[in-house]
Structure 1
């Protein structure tokens, strides 16, 4: 039976506006297929409602604005320092933007480019915005492409793959990509309602073409759910395969060690400790390999629970190891547990990283 082929798995070069040469650049960015492109989500979102008209920018403000480059050039200083400047214009007016020490931007930014700039407004021969970050939203020759929206999106870009090219490729292909991913939705309407997540196609559209920042957050939440869900699914599959390939040891409880230790404790186990021990003993007595995380506050009695689990292994004729993250903690556990196990005739061995090679060899031979 032939394996189903998704249109999203076809090479990115066959998408509109890509081609063989540009696909090589995409490949260096980790974008090989149409699916890779769809999941190449923006790194930044700017709400258009926070975009300030250029005429409203005052000295001292930290501003985000959008304007088209009307003139540009590199300004030399007496000390030899070079400053790239560009005059931006929008419907309200103009402002000078300056990038000190970045004359190379003169080759990157063209007259007519549409820029999204963010930075402080200072005074130097008039108002001057010094962008700490800028995004090239579009070229003047690409006026047919959609540039404006309620939210400005910015993708991780490079000199070989500038922002305006990415935006243009998404503008031409996003509707088709979303149509394809819609066929891969695995959650039904009732399940999405219960989980409080939106559909996969809606999530990706919200990330690439949002109308509000709330929509962006909903899209991120869905992708985060998918990532965690499939991670758990893969781990569950691995655990199942491991159980099938190599069943766990079925430990047998005799109470030869467990009961005396329980009787010797100067305190009663808490309800939580007793409940957890029942669950651990059930796991260890079955043929399933146990994979369990015990969580508790400092001093809540996790070590005692681990000790009872160790004794079940010893009663079945096996050995057990208790690992600690530091030597100090290992030594503390060793002293405490030795005092509890000596009356039972159980031998305890401490092995630490600072031991000499001879001491380690002696310890290994005693195991």
Structure 2
């Protein structure tokens, strides 16, 4: 038998190929044309395993090729979008050792040099004859040069340049370029869109003023303009925000109604005495927060409230009013802080506040001697109201409260859920007040902490002088330290902060350890200077901070280990080197270490920074509003896991941004309340699609809805 006959016989014996399943949104991507095993593996890394996942893989930005500037008209100083074919490329070194990838692109009108400093790896992904769409400023550097802010490699096919279109730029991964993903989506979009059903009731779509889901998906994947793409995105963002708001609102409802607590009576005995004894007037924000807390504590439902406020906003005195309300009713209170220094600071400040009332708090930390600890434990185990202030020592098994009615946790993000639960378990359903010094815009706080009620302190107490903040260049270093020495001569104290502990070969930055030696031998010679960073043993750090607090040190050279620290009222100067290396919120926390006394204080941002960083730091220097700074910082850096979202059970947002989508988030919150009032468990057929979305996307959180 000849070979051809053998092949024909083998084909006859082979079982017929299995027909591809009917296309649905649940069809595995391996059945889509052009997706083999290798591409399916790469798609899985992006969370794309089903055909419907491809529709939900939304572009993270768009390039507008509808307004391309001819290269000949790209003038120096202009910000343009140009489109051209790569005719030359290469990597050039500079005298400073920086390697710059350069490409020359050409269109029908002329040529233009494109440069990517510090990105030599692009030489492996950008090839000659590729078409590049580049957006950025044109500058003069031995001729015209554009340094792209954004760019898209459209590949070598001229008909694929996309000129005149809005180009979607998708999150990609190894083995799947943006160009390939875009082609894959476009290839299957027309077949998949008719399969999409709107899960939300029509009244919700109308109330939110967003397009139906099929239209929205077409808008995000095949937009006619960037504005249309953003409108489509708003529909997908709204769905995410609505689902999260529903889960949080339901969780809050269940927490408040199913977990009974105790109802305290507002006797206005100790609280009125404290208010009369205060040497200052409470701010409107403090009064509002106290009123909200009192309302919670009077309710038979267990309080679960977050008190968040800016640096120096007066959270401690609000917490003390809360404690006194519980103590008026014969209950005990536990205030837990993350460090011994912070616990000791709270104990001192609270003792001063309560001295006119004849009340002394009990301090419980790991530093207590055996006799002191026995006395503290005896007070907690005995009858009568008491305010205990401590660290993790409060969690120890030998710490027993006779009648714990209120738990207050400072810097709550520093404690895990289990630790907070242990303290709460030492009483019978005590009310819980969490405190945070990280200012978050209220709308974002209500989303991130949706299972809590939120009180916000957004005013500074009267009498606190604003901190003078300035940006100074490296050339003024001598004058800056002359000013610091003048403050030291006047009896004040100084912080000097660096972003690194030790020098690095990869980053050209001053480091705390090296600069400590240089300052002691130079600008701060003769001063009592100490070095503080996170690699020191905790006991050694505590000793240094206590010495600085007590005035035994003049200057503290440190890293951000002091970001959330103790109050040193005598410290009036904060010098921050390489300020561009810090986030705005981090700078704000560092600045909050000064200005805590009666003297005028100063924050000096020292270093040579680029134009973009200078603008950012200038904005920081112009305001002390931590909420405004947090908003700007989040817009610049993104949320990340900054606020411990995972710890609070918040599902990650793929499309929505509660800060950028603030108005949409407010709408989602309002409509979520309406939905739950209409159908608390989403049992009506009207909400079947919404319930399905929650089941698919937020299965772990559905315990709030008691769904098995």
Give me the TM-score of the superposition, normalised by structure 1.
Answer: 0.71
Change (3 A) 1:309 1:264: closer
Instruction: Name the CA distance, whole Å, in 2 between partners of 1:194 and 1:139.
Output: 46
Q: How far 1:136 sits from its partner (Å)?
A: 1.4
Instruction: Name the CA distance, whole Å, in 2 between partners of 1:269 and 1:117.
Output: 55
Instruction: Name the CA distance, whole Å, in 1 between partners of 2:26 and 2:330.
Output: 54
Instruction: Tell me, yes or no, if the aligned pair for 1:55 and 1:92 is still in contact at 8 Å.
Output: yes
Change (3 A) 1:76 1:309: closer
| 1:152 correspondence with 2:167 | yes
Matches within 5 A, 1:27-46: 27-46=44-63
Q: Structure 1, residues 168-209: CA drift from partner, whole Å, max 9, x if none? A: 01111234444444432x142x43443343434444433333
Matches within 5 A, 1:122-271: 122=140, 129=146, 131=148, 133-140=150-157, 143=159, 147-184=162-199, 186-188=200-202, 190-242=203-255, 247-253=259-265, 255=267, 258-259=268-269, 261-262=271-272, 265-266=275-276
Matches within 5 A, 1:288-307: 288-293=301-306, 306-307=319-320
Instruction: Tell me, yes or no, if the aligned pair for 1:151 and 1:210 is still in contact at 8 Å.
Output: yes
Instruction: Name the CA distance, whole Å, in 2 between partners of 1:323 and 1:57.
Output: 61
Range moving further from structure 2, 50-59 or 323-332: 323-332
Q: Structure 1, residues 103-127: CA drift from partner, whole Å, max 9, x if none? A: 7655533454332124546565x76
Change (3 A) 1:174 1:316: farther
Q: Structure 1, residues 114-170: CA drift from partner, whole Å, max 9, x if none? A: 32124546565x7665656531124429x4x68345423322334522121011011
Instruction: Name the CA distance, whole Å, in 2 between partners of 1:270 and 1:213.
Output: 45
> Hey, what does 1:3 align to over in structure 2?
none
Once superposed, what is the RMSD of the aligned Cα atoms? 4.5
Give me the TM-score of the superposition, normalised by structure 2.
Answer: 0.41
Instruction: Tell me, yes or no, if the aligned pair for 2:166 and 2:224 is still in contact at 8 Å.
Output: yes
Q: Secondary structure, in 3 states, of the residue corresponding to 1:321?
A: strand
Q: Structure 1, residues 336-362: CA drift from partner, whole Å, max 9, x if none? A: 4422542xxx55223467x44755675
Instruction: Tell me, yes or no, if the aligned pair for 1:136 and 1:162 is still in contact at 8 Å.
Output: no
Instruction: Tell me, yes or no, if the aligned pair for 2:45 and 2:173 is still in contact at 8 Å.
Output: no
Q: Secondary structure, in 3 states, of the residue corresponding to 1:135?
A: strand
> Hey, what does 2:107 align to over in structure 1?
90
Instruction: Name the CA distance, whole Å, in 2 between partners of 1:116 and 1:288.
Output: 59
Instruction: Tell me, yes or no, if the aligned pair for 2:115 and 2:147 is still in contact at 8 Å.
Output: yes
Change (3 A) 1:162 1:349: same
> Hey, what does 2:69 align to over in structure 1?
52
One of 317, 334, 341 as aligned partner of 1:321: 334
How many residues get paired?
347
Q: How far 1:7 sits from its partner (Å)?
A: 4.4
> Hey, what does 2:646 align to over in structure 1?
none
One of 10, 16, 24 as aligned partner of 2:41: 24
Instruction: Name the CA distance, whole Å, in 1 between partners of 2:122 and 2:204.
Output: 50
One of 49, 66, 83 as aligned partner of 1:66: 83
Q: How far 1:211 sits from its partner (Å)?
A: 2.6
| 1:116 correspondence with 2:129 | no
Q: How far 1:269 sits from its partner (Å)?
A: 9.0
One of 326, 337, 350 as aligned partner of 1:334: 350
Instruction: Name the CA distance, whole Å, in 2 between partners of 1:151 and 1:122.
Output: 29
Q: Secondary structure, in 3 states, of the residue corresponding to 1:117?
A: strand
Q: Structure 1, residues 191-241: CA drift from partner, whole Å, max 9, x if none? A: 344334343444443333333333344344444433333222222343455
Q: Secondary structure, in 3 states, of the residue corresponding to 2:363?
A: coil
Instruction: Name the CA distance, whole Å, in 1 between partners of 2:213 and 2:365.
Output: 50
Instruction: Tell me, yes or no, if the aligned pair for 2:265 and 2:329 is still in contact at 8 Å.
Output: yes
Q: Which runs of 5+ in 2 are unaligned?
A: 1-22, 381-708
Q: Secondary structure, in 3 states, of the residue corresponding to 1:191?
A: helix
Change (3 A) 1:303 1:66: same
